[in-house]
Amino acid sequence: MGSDGSTSASRIRRHGSYSGTLGENIAAGTNRNTGVSMVFAWVLSPGHLGNMLRENYTLIGTAHLSGHPVYDWIAVENFAARKN
E strand map for the chain: 18-29, 59-66, 73-82
The segments of the chain whose pLDDT lies below 50 read none
**Structure confidence at residue 33 (pLDDT):** 67
Edge-to-edge strands, sheet with 73-82: 18-29, 73-82, 59-66
- Kindly tell me the sign of the dihedral angle through the C-alpha atoms of 20, 8, 1, 63: positive
Say what the pTM is: 0.78
